[in-house]
Structure 1
Amino acid sequence: MITQVFNKKDLDKVQNEFVNVINPTKKVNDLRKQVEFADTFQNRINLGDALYEMGDYRGGIGEYEIALKGNYASDLGVVKKLLEGYYRTNEYQKVIFCAEYVSERSDFKGSRSQFLYGLALEEEGRSEEAEKNLKPIDQRYSNYEERYILAKFLLEKGKDTDAKEILSEIILESQHMSKPNRNRYRGVINEVKKMIKSI
């Protein structure tokens, strides 16, 4: 039998996390009070993160934009969060601007940020550049949803062989997934199987 001993601090933390899951607006309200009390970079980021968790991307973007003013203008993590928010709010020009700002960083290649950059380029009618920025997301045993979207993109461009190769790899990889990952990616894997049958 395994027993866990909680001290009061641990118990308070667990209770706070439980309340935040049940009532996410409480978390946001508490973080707003923290910003009012001390308008720091980290407090703004925490509030932006909480707003994103609730699906309020416009609100989160506003907090990140304020946080980036001053000494933190080039904070890579916040720029990537902004890029995600701009994509989710269909502000493709801003996605492109943010991506080009961080594109020389070593961790940009193959990242979700580069993938969203590619999708934004496609929305702006820049298909060749889009494909160049979408392809690096095709990494084995990861990025299943993004790779599925890449395969759809390639199919739309008439590159059936390339799309089929990606889809086949995903199906093969799914056979070696752990049970939690199989459950997590079940929807994407089912869509991949449907798509490969239609090619």
Structure 2
Amino acid sequence: MHYYLLIALQVFCLYHIYKNHKPYYWFFVIFFIPIAGAIFYIITQVLTNNDVNTIQKEITSIVNPTKKIKDLEKKIEFADTYANRMDLADAYFEIKAYQNAISNYEITLKDKSQNALYAHQQLVLCYFQMNDFNKVISHANEIKDKPEFKGSKQQFCYGLALREKGDLELAERELKAIDRPYSNYNERLELAKFYLENDRREAGKEILKDISNEAQHMTKPNRKLFRQTITEVEQLLKTL
């Protein structure tokens, strides 16, 4: 496998040298020091400065996410724009600092000239993680008439929040919108459990059987991705 990857890398480099009329000595570099030569060629001749800077920034944000936040905070100190504030909120959301994310998303809502859809979407997710179901419902109500809401993660959170508040009829209506074949496996499992918890055994069992049957046709990556969900589905089916 590694041999074929090396060949593919060499072929790419040789083609790039030929197509872009690079100096002839690069052919010898790729032939005689294939791995190191190919990597060095790609870094120095293929990637632009912008590409390298982007890669460096991505690596830095993964290794040291707080640096990314500090940099964004400095940008806001220089220019407190809607875009900068949203970037900071998203950065907090990425590291699961939900309260800080909420504070910044809420600030963006003050700019009435901007489309508030994305901020409300993110706030639904943040407040759901913090189990503040009243806020989930409040922000979901702001966007539930938007086409982007239909079948979304936000609608699922909205349905679960309604369940927690005891509005079971409305909760079922929202959760059912997530019941789509060959998708939303985690969400459909929750819907099945919702039915089982509310004495709707057959409805819950039907969803579990659908997921179980669909799992038989999953690709290996998807089976691995949803392994825990599939296992729970099979365990629940055994009890019914």
Shorter-chain TM-score range: over 0.9
Q: Does 1:120 align with 2:161?
A: yes
Which of these residues, 166, 176, 196, is aligned with residue 135 of structure 1?
Answer: 176
Q: 1:33 aligns with which of 70, 74, 81?
A: 74
> In structure 1, how many angstroms separate the alpha carbons of the residues matched to 2:59 and 2:216?
35
Q: Tell me the residue number matched to 2:194.
A: 153
For 1:79, the equivalent position in structure 2 comes to: 120
Other-structure match for 2:237 = 196
**Comparing 129-138 and 6-15, the one that deviates more:** 6-15
The CA distance in 2 between the partners of 1:42 and 1:73, in whole Å, is: 10
User: Unaligned regions of 5+ residues in structure 2, if any?
Assistant: 1-7, 13-41
**Aligned-pair distance for 1:21?**
0.9
Question: Once the 2 structures are TM-superposed, how far is the Cα of residue 83 of structure 1 from its aligned partner?
Answer: 0.9
Whether 2:227 is the aligned partner of 1:186: answer: yes
> How high is the sequence identity, in percent, across the aligned residues?
44
Tell me, which stretches of 5 or more residues in structure 1 are unaligned? none
TM-score by length of 1: 0.94
- Counterpart selection for 2:185 from 137, 140, 144: 144
What secondary structure does 1:125 align onto?
coil
Which of the numbers 84, 87, 100 marks the counterpart of 2:141?
Answer: 100
What are the Cα deviations for residues 103-159 of structure 1, in whole angstroms up to 9, with x where unaligned? 111222222111111111111111111111111101111111111111111110111
Matched, 1:55 2:100: no
RMSD: 1.4
Higher normalized contact order (CA 8 Å, seq sep 6+, divided by chain length): 1
Which of 198, 207, 211 aligns to 1:166? It is 207
Instruction: Give the SS at the match of 1:107.
Output: helix
Larger radius of gyration: 2
| Count of aligned positions | 199
